[in-house]
Amino acid sequence: MAGDGKEMHAWMLAAPGRGRRILGDDEIAVYERDGLLVPRYRLPPADLAKLQRMCERLVADNPHAVNVPFTNMHVPSYAVQKLNCGPRSDNPFTNEWLQMAAHPDILDLLEQLIGPDIVMWATALFHKEARTGGKTHYHRDAIYYPIRPLVAPNVWIAVTESTLANSCVCHIPGSHKARVSGKHGFSDGSEGELVNNKIDDSEFDVNDAVPVELEPGQMYVSDVFSLHGGGPNTSDRPRTGYSIRYFPSARGYEHAIAPGHAATSNYNDFKSRPLFLMRGVDRSGRNDFSIGHPVRDGGLALVRSPR
């Protein structure tokens, strides 16, 4: 991946898509069947090394953010946590977190699943410290995504090795097919949870879950209705994953109905969430690309810039 704004310009503007097939038909079938796919594709070594440096710096520079997700590092002016995110830039052509979310291979992969018109609306770093990293209750992300109709894949890139021993994500295959969120609540945090959104125990059988073990640079793509969670990290190795969340622009992000979760307000604000059109056009006409940005229509910068 290019390292400066000028080089970045060449590949970030691949809108609409390049027609490159990253996924095989068999992989698409697995995604549709299970609601989660680990592609054969891996992040190129140079890009992985850059992402690892970014993540190591983020964790080291924010010792106050303990056992919570680091959220939306790609929009320094918005971030609720007031994170130190490295070189501070609201310029989409020099912001390294946004550059990673606009990786052309990832967008090509997504095109095969949701089409060529792609909006990115969130990033997060899920870092579980060695020995003390908290558990993640089983939940469906669909419970709080204010996207209608709801289609919103998540790309989760393994920054470190992610195994059952150091608390990899566990997923229940086929749990996306009902297209319902299920009964959720919030835990009280007494178990040191990394995420305290929690589906009712009556909604699933943990014995159906399978571990999603990944090597650094591998990733998974999951459906928004996929049921997933994970245990605490009791190993002597940290576990880190970079999550990027997208939706097809034929859907609309409804800022007006976005949840104001008090339980997650220390790291999330859905009502003022900035959107970025990564490829194509806004098919729904309902997505506001000015909310949360330091400049009007800042979320359209990537596709409006001249080639």
Q: What pLDDT digit, counting tens, does each position of 78-116 carry?
A: 667 778 887 666 667 678 999 999 999 999 999 999 999
Residue range 283-297, pLDDT digits in tens? 999 999 999 888 888
3-state secondary structure at position 257? helix
3-state secondary structure at position 185? strand
Check residues 236 and 258 and name the one with the higher pLDDT. Answer: 236
In this prediction, residues 196-221 reach a mean pLDDT of: 95
In this prediction, residues 27-40 reach a mean pLDDT of: 99
Residue range 155-190, pLDDT digits in tens? 999 999 999 999 999 999 999 999 999 999 877 766
Contact 137, 197 (CB under 8 A): yes
Percentage of the chain lying above the pLDDT 90 cut? 66
CA distance 107 to 37: 15
Contact 112, 23 (CB under 8 A): yes
pLDDT at 191 over 80: no
Single-letter residue type at 269: D
Torsion of CA 247, 248, 254, 255, to 10 degrees: 50
pLDDT band for position 8 (cuts 50, 70, 90): very low
Residue range 130-147, pLDDT digits in tens? 998 888 999 999 988 999
In this prediction, residues 220-238 reach a mean pLDDT of: 96
Contact 294, 79 (CB under 8 A): no
pLDDT band for position 282 (cuts 50, 70, 90): very high
Q: What is the CATH number of domain 5-304?
A: 2.60.120.620
CA distance 282 to 39: 27
The pLDDT of residue 53 is 97
Q: What is the mean pLDDT of the chain?
A: 87
The pLDDT of residue 261 is 54
Q: Which two tokens stand for residue 251?
A: 């859907």
The pLDDT of residue 104 is 96
CA distance 141 to 154: 9
pLDDT at 4 over 70: no
The enclosing H or E element of 59 equals: helix 45-61
Residues paired with residue 246 on neighbouring β-strands, in sequence order = 120
Question: In the chain, what are the domain boundaries?
Answer: 5-304
Per-range mean pLDDT, top range of 39-53, 56-70, 93-107, 188-202: 39-53
